[in-house]
């Protein structure tokens, strides 16, 4: 099988998708923005062919590149795994008559208000929402729905550009920042109260063949706004427990069917609170923040190979062991500036060394990154343990003990 894979070089884990496709027997023809000469020798060795383009989100340029490839090779699949690439690649796929996720599906997984309209029609519980570039329409929605509300880019990913507003005045400030009325569009949603997490899958022909559940502590919006918080996310090994996640797994399957997601990785955010379980959003792509790394360690698995087997052979090769829960804690510098030193590392190594997966500790002198840059922007530590609650307690202790000092 010949698979065209979009952008093999950036971000860093993109090479793992290429590795896995080659491992399962595919000829990998990559399209990327880097010149072939700047790809390392290992990555070049996995590639059957390579085409450079100015931008992999330029549909016209990408169409030309894929047609150039088709003039030399039969193309069975055209795949992308980065959020910003999913919809442009679907448009190219349609123009070049290559099987895979449709433009409609990829649009719905990108445009949150349209996504929720379809899912509400399918009976899936979602927050009330609106997508608009008209300030009067948005203020009318706010009066009808009530505060607090969440305002985010209409096609955003994760918590990027997301804000909570509690008053009409705050809403107006958020709309001005998003240039609403001057061509800007936002998604405005009822605030979901409750605990937040994500549900990730690999699906083949719309059927889930791998699934994983991860919890946020605290919720993302709070975590991304306060320096003093050392936020965590923890993947549980209790996914298959009879009394655990059946409702979530059922909802996830219904979402995949309603959006007509065929063979793909998916990443779905959810809330559970006073109104019960509620869908938040989904992407037809793998999760960010290197969550698959945690799933692999926790489950004695290579999800990149599992994804490649789904794409190339339409099957999974092995199931997860569920041997460990695994999690990450982000460690924020105490101020903006440059990292000066760390405190508490020796204590954590002595107490939890056998359970530490890995860590990232930027060298002294490294410029700090802002809190809103995300979970892996500064220092972080990842741990595993067979018991979820024990793992959570260990991560809490890491957050209390390890200090990242800056000056």
Q: What is the pLDDT of residue 241?
A: 87
Residues whose CB falls within 8 Å of the CB of residue 106, separated by 6 or more in sequence, listed in order? 86, 87, 89, 90, 284
CA distance 120 to 189: 14
Q: State the Cα–Cα distance between residues 383 and 391, nearest whole angstrom.
A: 7
Domain with CATH 3.30.1490.20 in the chain: 128-190
Q: What is the pLDDT of residue 255?
A: 98
73: left (phi over 0), alpha (psi -120 to 50) or beta: beta
Q: What is the pTM of this model?
A: 0.91
In the predicted structure, residue 243 carries a pLDDT above the cut 80? no
Contact of 66 with 89, CB cutoff 8 Å: no
Q: What is the CATH number of domain 128-190?
A: 3.30.1490.20
Confidence of residue 244 (pLDDT cuts 50, 70, 90): confident
Q: Which of 19-33, 140-154, 233-247 has the highest mean pLDDT?
A: 19-33
Q: Given pLDDT bands bounded at 50, 70 and 90, which one contains residue 82?
A: very high
Between 241 and 284, residue with greater pLDDT: 284
Average pLDDT value for the chain: 95
User: Comparing 22-31, 235-244, 318-327, which segment has the lowest mean pLDDT?
Assistant: 235-244
The correct answer on CATH 1.10.1840.10 for the domain covering 195-406 is no
Confidence of residue 376 (pLDDT cuts 50, 70, 90): very high
Q: How far, in Å, are 5, 57, 67, 262, 306 from residue 98 at the CA level?
A: 13, 17, 11, 14, 22
DSSP structural state of residue 361:
-
> What CATH topology corresponds to 2-100?
Rossmann fold (3.40.50)
Q: What is the DSSP string of 25-92?
A: TPEEEEEESS-GGGS-HHHHHHEEEEEE-S-TT-HHHHHHHHHHHHHHS---EEE--SHHHHHHHHHH
Instruction: Give start-end residues of each CATH 3.40.50.20 domain in the chain.
Output: 2-100
Q: Where do you find CATH 3.30.470.20 in the chain?
A: 195-406
136-190 confidence digits (pLDDT tens): 999 999 999 999 998 988 766 555 678 889 999 999 999 998 899 888 999 898 8
> Do the Cβ atoms of 216 and 229 come closer than 8 Å?
no
Tokens of 285: 């792509």
């Amino acid at each position: 099988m010949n698979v065209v894979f979009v952008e093999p070089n950036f971000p860093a884990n993109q090479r793992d998708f290429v590795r896995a496709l080659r491992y399962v027997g595919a000829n990998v023809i990559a399209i990327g923005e880097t010149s072939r000469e700047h790809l390392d020798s290992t990555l070049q060795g996995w590639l059957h062919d390579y085409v450079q383009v100015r931008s992999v989100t330029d549909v016209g340029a990408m169409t030309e590149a894929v047609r150039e490839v088709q003039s030399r090779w039969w193309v069975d699949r055209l795949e992308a795994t980065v959020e910003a690439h999913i919809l442009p690649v679907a448009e190219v796929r349609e123009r070049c008559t290559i099987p895979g996720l449709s433009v409609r599906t990829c649009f719905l997984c990108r445009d949150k208000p349209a996504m929720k309209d379809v899912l509400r029609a399918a009976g899936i519980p979602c927050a009330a929402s609106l997508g608009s570039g008209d300030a009067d329409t948005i203020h009318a929605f706010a009066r009808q729905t009530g505060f607090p509300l969440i305002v985010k880019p209409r096609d955003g990913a994760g918590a990027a550009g997301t804000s909570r507003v509690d008053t009409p005045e705050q809403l107006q400030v958020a709309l001005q920042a998003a240039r609403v009325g001057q061509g800007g569009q936002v998604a405005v949603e009822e605030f979901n109260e409750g605990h937040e997490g994500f549900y990730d899958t690999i699906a083949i022909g719309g059927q889930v063949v791998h699934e994983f559940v991860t919890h946020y502590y605290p919720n993302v919006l709070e975590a991304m706004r306060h320096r003093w918080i050392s936020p965590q996310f923890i993947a549980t090994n209790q996914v298959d427990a009879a009394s655990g996640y059946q409702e979530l797994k059922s909802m996830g399957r219904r979402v995949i069917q309603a959006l007509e997601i065929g063979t793909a990785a998916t990443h779905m955010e959810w809330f559970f609170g006073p109104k019960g379980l509620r869908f938040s959003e989904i992407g037809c792509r793998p999760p960010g923040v290197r969550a698959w790394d945690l799933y692999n360690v926790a489950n004695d698995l290579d999800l990149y190979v599992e994804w490649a087997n789904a794409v190339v052979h339409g099957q999974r090769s092995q199931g997860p062991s569920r041997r460990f829960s695994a999690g990450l804690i982000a460690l924020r510098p105490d101020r903006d500036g440059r990292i000066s030193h760390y405190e508490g590392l020796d204590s954590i190594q002595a107490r939890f060394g056998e359970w530490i997966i890995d860590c990232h500790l930027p060298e002294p002198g490294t410029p700090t990154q802002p809190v809103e840059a995300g979970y892996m922007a500064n220092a972080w530590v990842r741990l595993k343990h067979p018991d979820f609650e024990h793992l959570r307690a260990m991560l809490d202790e890491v957050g209390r003990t390890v200090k990242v000092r800056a000056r």
